[in-house]
Structure formats: structure tokens, C-alpha cells
Copies of this chain bind each other. A is one copy, B any other.
Amino acid sequence: MPKQVDHEERRQLIAAAVCRLAGRNGLQAVTLRQVAVEAGVSMGLVQHYFTTKEDMLLFAFHVMSARVEQRIGAAVASLPQPISTRSLLRALLTAMVPADEGTALEAPLWVAFLARAVVAPGLAGPLRQGGQMLRQFVVELLGAAQSAGEVPGHVDVEMEAGSLLALADGLMIHALIDPDGPTAALDTLDYHLDRIFARPPT
């Protein structure tokens, strides 16, 4: 029985190095050598697990997406019971803004992938899919809330869903460039949640 190594684990290890590197210095600083050094493995090993650099980046992107989902899940789980639609939505959106430490580390990476997706179709596909699924989820959330009377009837849930997600991405970028951005971003998100989940005047 030969030495058995966990392929997936190795790939995760390497992808993590890619993420650290890209988050710190940008995607253009991700070279095979740097990745190998960052991961503490040989350059050959990196290329053993990823045929091409493109593959590696794509996998790293999926890893990052999974991490974002995980972080959102954790944020939702730590919410005080009972979980209202609004608090759930807020947890989801704040996880996309570099206010907490985890997001702050991943946001540059996320932006790097976004920017690359614009010119690299291979990356755009998964990103588009993920975005649409997320949007659909928010639409359903808002729709349910509207049915429950938490959201006024004149609110266009489709529009608001897309808006909130686009807004979150926009705020993320501004937050990364402007040092005062993160707190302002949270305030802005709350402002819009207040607006959407408005108590109707009695």
C-alpha cells in the first residue's frame, strides 16, 4: 500500500496560500514560486496538484466562496433567537463588507477575483452563478417578509434584492479604498434595511 495523501487537503492547503497572497498583494502577485513559498511546499508540488495556474486560481476562488458562505452561516448561527428575516438579511450583507476582521482579510481577494472575472470568462461563469443564486435567495427572503407584512407592499423585492447585493459590493470596494469606509458601509446598509422593513404608519 503506497503512501496515501489526501488530494483535496493538499489542494486546500495550496489554495489557502493563494488566498493569503492575493489578499495581501493582489492577484498579479500570485506566482507559482510565491505560492510554493507561502504554502511551504515545493514549486513542483504546486504544479502537481494544479495542472495550470488558471486551474489553481479557479480552485482558490471556489475555496474563497465556500469560506464566505461559511462565514455567513456562522454569523447567522450566532444571531439571537428568534431570527427575523431582517436580522438574517443583515447578517448576510454585513458579511460582505470588510467591517469584521475575517471579511477585511478576504475582501481584497474578492475584489481581485471580481476584477479578473471581467476579463477572464473562466472566472466570470462561477461568479455569475453564485451571484444569481444569492440574489434569488434574497428575493425569496424579502418576498416572504412582504407576505408576512414586515415589508410594505409597494416595495419591489426583485429590485431591492439586486440593489442590496450591488450596494454591498460597491460599499466593499469603497471601504477598501477609504479608511472610514467600513463603519459608513454598515450605517448605509442599516439605513436601507430600515427603509425596506419600514413599519407602516398606523
Spell out A's residues near B (CB within 8 Å): 24-29, 107-108, 111-112, 114-120, 124, 127-128, 131-132, 156, 159, 162-163, 165-171, 173-174, 176-178, 184-185, 187-188, 191-192
Contact = CB atoms under 8 A, between A and B. Distances in A.
B162 A169 contact: no
A42 B187 CA distance: 51
A181 B111 CA distance: 18
A127 B156 CA distance: 33
B112 A108 contact: no
A52 B69 CA distance: 41
A54 to B, nearest CB: 13
A26 B116 contact: yes
Contact of A163 (B116, B132, B167, B178): B167
Tell me how many chains of this kind the complex includes.
4
Is the contact region of chain A dominated by helix, strand, or loop, or is it mixed?
helix
A153 B85 CA distance: 28
Nearest to A169: B170
A167 B191 CA distance: 14
A124 B177 contact: yes
Contacts of A187: 159
Given A169-B174, A170-B167, A174-B169, A120 B188 contact: no
Given A111-B118, A167-B166, A178 B26 contact: no
